Copies of this chain bind each other. A is one copy, B any other.
Amino acid sequence: MSPTIKDVAKKAGVSIATVSLAIHNNQRITTITRNKVLRAIKELNYHPSRSAKGLVTKTTGNIGFVLTDDHFLKTEPFYTMIFLGTEFVTRGNDYYVLLATINKDFKEGDELPRFILERSVDGVIVAGKVPDAFIQKLSKFDMPLVFVDYFPPVDDHCVVMVDNTRGGYQAAKHLVDLGHKEIAFIGADITHPSISDRLTGYKQALETSGIEIKQSNIIIDEDYPARQNGYNAAKRLFEKNKNVTAVFACNDAMAIGAMQYCADNGIKIPGDVSLIGFDDVEADLLLNPPLTTVRVPKVELGTEAMNVMVNLLSSKSANCAKKIVVPVELIVRGSTRKI
């Protein structure tokens, strides 16, 4: 068995309270006693038990990270990167991250992740879009909450967001600057605020550039923005609309699908059509041509979210309802060109 505080107390010839106080640098303990204690700790290689500490302080040193199972399973490691971002921060602070998924159709009667019920976490980071019913139920626990890459309907929470509107603007503006006039938008799941914000940015860019916004140039799939849907959206677009010279896909997955459609149908990129995506996933660089895109700093989203959480927990301040918007960056590669 590993040594307990009792062993340290005996070895140092003091009470266990003194050991505890010494560990926490309490003023009441003289330097000389503290050193005695510290020496005993070193000799025994003592480390306090987290369980015992947790029981009395009602803290666990863990943060929950929740996302829906379909986000968890998708091939693009978008949320994985955010998760890793949170891990980076915990390295510095004294926390660990517990991961849990919920059903994307979470209903009122469903159980919350076990770590919430058993109080194994001090706070919860929610990543990506989650059902309303889940947020409702989660909010009943008075537990610090941080949302990342999703803007919950009720608005008194801490949120870390991507500047999707500005990114959409930058993407479309880039195409405008290259001389394009017939610029299409392909997207999916427009109820997702991130996606609709990108569309908003697209519209703003065309508007401020004096280019008419045509509904026929906007293709929205109802489903999830995945490669297959990008393929289908491109098909729907090009079958009815021959004069499009540039396409802004709502994310890289759809852009990759669209690129595949073009390859299958003799549409040259960027020769015939310029294509720009959103997210900047690993795959972009391997495409032929490499995909121009708007970079979302995925790891940074995670670090920011965890930073907010750690602040929330340490300051014990009221729910600050803080909002952080992390900037995006246009990455020009080979899939766009001057017309």
Chain A interfacial positions (CB closer than 8 Å to B): 2, 47-52, 54-55, 60-62, 72, 75, 77, 80, 84, 87, 91, 94, 96-101, 114-115, 117-120, 141, 256, 282-283, 286-288
Contact = CB atoms under 8 A, between A and B. Distances in A.
B97 A47 contact: no
A2 B48 contact: no
A55 B72 CA distance: 32
Contact of A286 (B49, B114, B118, B256): B256
Contacts of A283: 282-283, 286
23 contacts: A2-B141, A47-B117, A47-B119, A49-B118, A49-B119, A50-B60, A50-B115, A50-B120, A51-B51, A51-B60, A51-B119, A51-B120, A52-B55, A55-B55, A61-B120, A75-B282, A77-B77, A80-B80, A91-B101, A96-B100, A97-B99, A283-B283, A283-B286
A115 B96 contact: yes
A104 to B, nearest CB: 15
Q: By DSSP majority rule, is chain A's interface helix, strand, loop, or mixed? A: mixed
A94 B117 CA distance: 13
A98 to B, nearest CB: 5
A81 to B, nearest CB: 9
A84 B79 CA distance: 12
Nearest to A142: B1
Contact of A118 (B50, B77, B288): B50
A77 B80 CA distance: 9
B60 A118 contact: no
A73 to B, nearest CB: 9
A282 to B, nearest CB: 6
A97 B119 CA distance: 16
The 9 A-B residue pairs with the shortest CB-CB distance in the complex, in nearest-first order: A51-B54, A47-B117, A50-B118, A286-B286, A96-B98, A50-B120, A51-B55, A288-B288, A283-B286
